[in-house]
Structure 1
């Protein structure tokens, strides 16, 4: 299945890098780009009712005056941040107008607790969500947005770290395979990319007996599945030698000159809370390759 609608989430204070990356990918495959600009942190923090916490007059008069003055300052910051958000929207629209691209740019006002849900709702109506370095490096917006897009939608996410050359027409793709449902979904969601690639390498790190399926060799089943779809596939069985599977896959991606890594995103609720930090550390410590994830 081709990607017809691509979602890009960016912050009001971020650079244009995430948007231009997503726009370039959409231009490459003729997809529609939907951009959602997330509010700045101060706007998120000040999204409360004006009367919250104000004591009944005249009890606590001095305290009430102080709180009201604080709230007036919050309103002033809110107004300034809302103006920044609208300006950011105009700037992005102007940027995209020169790219001969079908697109929409939207902003919204909501509290911090709603970030993940807003991201989820948007991702549900997109074929692919792009997470660029700006969002990856934002500790306030990144974790809830990534969790909302990846875990609660069943839709794939393409993580593009700093320095990566992103493409939706990769020549060489490394697939991290372990016979789990998440890996299977990642392969299925990336099928269009895999079938057009010049080379697909299915990599298994210390495969277990149940990775063999009904065939003699580990990875033979998934290789046969991809081959029937027209992909050019080879299987690499890799020993971990005491290293983590992520480290082994990253090194193999470098050794094979891969343009992208496709893998499943796993996680119980506990691991889910740690995924963003884990993925970010993995990207920082490993080669700057786009990471295609599905859950």
Structure 2
């Protein structure tokens, strides 16, 4: 599989430029078409009480629409200037509905969607929740942390391997990116041996598969007493100097992870490098 249709979600946050730079770099590497999607929900107007005087409501709505339009114009100008400067095939879209469902809709016609990690102060009307996109888009999601600069993915990729169908899907979806990395490590955290788990040699089977694709790959095992291995994954990524983590998402139900916690939820909250997730 090659990446020929990329979707990058650009809100009005401070990490926009770095996310766009990463997306443009990928578009150039794979000679791909890049779609910029800007969430610009007018749903804010529905938050005004119906008891307000109509004139006041209309004025507030007009002000909201003007502010959103100005924001959209600014983000579009940055997108078009950057893509023209780098000679990337590109187009611009504005999502007028709620960011989550709108992003999912557009992502269904892309090979990869690139979006930002949720900031603590993000409104549901400003940017999509990556968890929603990962679960419903039907394509892999590359989630970029809101802190840090990540213009390239080429040094080292860490595969968080748990032998699940979600992890296998993520590895297949990530193949174009993995082939571009100088080194790849398959990491099994607290692996369980057995026919229905990691096999007799945890990580070896998927490593052989990657090697047949010409990917320079090694395997590693890590053990932690924590029930949630997210900290161990992020710690090892730092040790390796990884600029990408590849993992399956929501091996358990999302509701269970919300209540009990889970590695997907923890990684989405604590990520320090871009993470490619598939479900």
Give the TM-score range, shorter chain.
0.7 to 0.9
Task: Report the aligned-residue RMSD.
Answer: 3.0
Cα-to-partner distance string for 1:208-247 (whole Å, 9 max, x where unaligned): 1237869631111111111111111111011114463111
- Does 1:197 pair with 2:181? yes
The structure-2 alpha-carbon separation of the partners of 1:272 and 1:81, relative to structure 1 and needing over 3 Å to count, comes to farther
Separation of aligned partners in 1, 2:215 and 2:156 = 11
Q: 1:281 aligns with which of 259, 269, 275?
A: 269
Counterpart check, 1:78 vs 2:61: yes
Give the Å deviation of 1:180. Answer: 0.3
Q: Which of the pair has more CA radius of gyration? A: 1
Equivalent residues of 2:21, 2:151 under 8 A apart: no
Partner of residue 58, structure 1: none
Deviation at 1:249, TM superposition (A): 1.3
Residues 205, 211 of structure 1: CA spacing in aligned structure 2 closer, same or farther, 3 A cutoff?
farther
Q: Which runs of 5+ in 2 are unaligned?
A: none
Three-state SS of the structure 2 residue aligned to 1:76 is helix
Unaligned residue ranges in structure 1 (runs of 5+): 54-66
Q: Structure 1 137/278 Cα, relative in aligned 2: closer, same or farther at 3 Å?
A: farther
Tell me the CA shift for residue 141 of structure 1: 4.2
Report the equivalent of 1:6.
6
If the length of structure 1 is used for normalisation, what is the TM-score?
A: 0.78
Question: Taking structure 2 as the reference length, what is the TM-score of the superposition?
Answer: 0.82
Shift of 1:144: 5.0
Structure-1 separation of matches of 2:222 and 2:20: 37
Aligned length: 269
Matched residue, 2:88: 101
Question: 2: distance between equivalents of 1:27 and 1:135?
Answer: 28
In structure 1, the partner of 2:33 is 32
Q: Is the 8 A contact 2:117 2:130 kept in 1?
A: no
Counterpart position of 1:56: none
More helix by share: 1
User: Is contact 1:223-1:234 (8 Å) kept?
Assistant: yes
Instruction: Name the structure 2 match of 1:270.
Output: 255
Question: Are the equivalent residues in 2 in contact too, given 1:176–1:202 (CA < 8 A)?
Answer: yes
Report matched runs for 1:77-226 at 5 Å: 77-98=60-81, 99=85, 100-110=87-97, 114-133=98-117, 138-141=122-125, 144-167=128-151, 169-210=153-194, 216-226=200-210
SS in 1 for 2:10: strand
- Quote the offset at 1:117 in angstroms: 2.1
